[in-house]
Structure 1
Amino acid sequence: MKLISVAVASLALAAPALAQQADDPLAKRTITIAAGAAYLPTYVGSDDYTVAPAIGARGTIGGYNFQFRGTQGGIDLIRQPDDPHAIDLQLGPVAGFNLTRTRAIKDPQVKALGKLDTAIELGGYVGIGKTGIITSPYDTLSASVSYVHDVNGAHGSYRISPSVTYATPLSRKAYVMISGYTDFIGAKYADYYYSVTPAGALASGLPAYSARKSGMLDYGVISLVNLSLTGDLTGGLSFIAGGGYSRVLGRYARSPIVSIAGDRNQWIGGAGLAYTF
């Protein structure tokens, strides 16, 4: 699920950095919508890949930011500071669906384990950002951490996801971003997605395995480029492309779902079009 979220984010959340400055008339009211395609594993730890649609949106209205990416959305309840170079504190709710192994499973052994239920995950995030910090008055360095918990009894556990992002416009028509992240998961989350029960072992041919322990699931990095096709980064049509790598860790990488039927090394990529108005 994290890979899907990040892949969609690479298409939909390339903020037109110049339009986020308070001295720009669009800074308090800008919306970007995006659509494209992402190439990604069928689940975190799979060695089978699929091409999936990627859609998303982000915006700022009255100084308040919101974003939607794939199956997750959130709102920043702290208004952006009027000073474009002031520290930007972030806090708000997030909500989404976790579709891991609910569909499109290609590996016959993993498929034999059966489809999983969709998790409805609710939670929140906190973050901090600063503009004009390294290379120009418009670059941004930010850090955030989100917490979500399943509320409908699928995995019945939590995921904590810290991330650090650096982004900068190269001109009024080109923008680049790089982001690093990791995921920490609860024991029930690990058990639901990475354990193999004795009954599952009989059905799939994979050895029985217990992954029921909380810990760090993975770490990853993703980068993207946003190129304006009409107008500039403050408005109009643009092209977005991105890619990234992540690695499944520890006892989760040793799960037969990953070590036998999948791969701990994960790759993603995507491309699409965005329109800012």
Structure 2
Amino acid sequence: MSLGLAAPCLAQETAPAPVDTPPTSDPRADFAIVGIGVGVLPDYEGSGDYSVSPVPAAIGQLSGYRFVLAGNRISVDLIKDGYGPTWDIQAGPIGVVNFNRSSRGSIDNPQVALLDERGTAIELGGYVGIGKTGVITSDYDRLSATISYRYDVAGVHESGILTPTITYTTPLSTKALVGLFASAEFVERGYGRTYFSVTPAESARSGLPIYTAGGGFKNWALGAVATRSLTGDLTGGLQLVGGVVYRRLSGDFADSPVTQVGSPNQWIGAVGLAYSF
């Protein structure tokens, strides 16, 4: 499963700043925020069973270019941000390591564990977007919309994933920040065939009915995140970060036998510590 909407990185998407006073550091300067957390996520996409996993995270800016690492996902914004309340054009590469059903040992459901293992997919692509700083609450809140496309280059599902996302973040004070986001995923046929279909041989082993999944609209998701400084403020020091994401599978993906023995309702939660400098 992907922690693509991982809480630690969403919380740091905007330059840390209080609601009604100027930032305490130059948002154009280089910075880095690194963290580690504990995530609770489904055993596989469509599972009703959950497991605990470590979640690394980092965000930074070098010479005006921002990068984000969120669990198994990394992206880089190759267009420099402006200063103060402004519009921001975003574009750059994105990469995801997809571990979905790559290990039977991590799947509790006995029927799904009898299906063929999938390899580890390497999904590479890019994204574009637009953001606006200074929208509702202050000069430092941020609303952004992005769309990304990535394709599996490892030969596992050999298909693409299109993901539109809307994100809003706002600082509440010099020590607290919250964010909300919504996204959806559209996948090509190879993705559905790899992760949601059941072949005759797999059906004979597992007892699940034969099923052929197609492509299209796979899921929508809503999430929230919050961060609170434990030392210093949001521009530097130790921070406590937590977030939750709800995803709802749809269409062929909700109707698949691997989901029917699990659940189309997918929850992802994470809590951790981050240090900014």
With structure 2 as the length reference, what TM-score do the two structures score? 0.94
Q: Distance in 1 between matches of 2:219 and 2:172?
A: 31
| Percent identical residues | 43
SS in 2 for 1:240: strand
Q: Which residue of 2 aligns with 1:214?
A: 215
Match runs of 1:108-257 below 5 Å:
108-211=110-213, 213-257=214-258
Tell whether the 8 Å contact from 1:17 to 1:233 is kept in structure 2 after alignment.
Answer: no
Q: Which residue of 2 aligns with 1:38?
A: 39
Tell whether the 8 Å contact from 1:12 to 1:35 is kept in structure 2 after alignment.
Answer: no
SS in 2 for 1:257: helix
Q: Which residue of 2 aligns with 1:14?
A: 11
Equivalent position amino acid for 2:182 in 1: G
Equivalent position amino acid for 2:271 in 1: A
Describe the shift of the 1:57–1:273 C-alpha distance in structure 2 as closer, same or farther (beyond 3 A): same
**Ranges of 4+ aligned residues in structure 1 off by more than 2 Å:** 16-28
Q: Which residue of 1 aligns with 2:108?
A: 106
Residue 11 of structure 1, CA deviation: 2.4
Aligned residue pair count? 271
RMSD after superposition: 1.6
Residue 16 of structure 1, CA deviation: 6.9
Unaligned runs of 5+ in 2: none
Residue 25 of structure 1, CA deviation: 2.4
Q: Distance in 2 between matches of 1:17 and 1:96?
A: 22
Tell whether the 8 Å contact from 2:84 to 2:139 is kept in structure 1 after alignment.
Answer: no
Equivalent position amino acid for 1:11 in 2: P
Describe the shift of the 1:102–1:16 C-alpha distance in structure 2 as closer, same or farther (beyond 3 A): closer
Residue 114 of structure 1, CA deviation: 2.3
With structure 1 as the length reference, what TM-score do the two structures score? 0.94
SS in 1 for 2:4: helix
Describe the shift of the 1:18–1:58 C-alpha distance in structure 2 as closer, same or farther (beyond 3 A): closer
Tell whether the 8 Å contact from 2:176 to 2:227 is kept in structure 1 after alignment.
Answer: yes
Q: Distance in 2 between matches of 1:151 and 1:100?
A: 15
SS in 2 for 1:108: coil
SS in 2 for 1:203: helix
Q: Distance in 1 between matches of 2:124 and 2:252?
A: 26
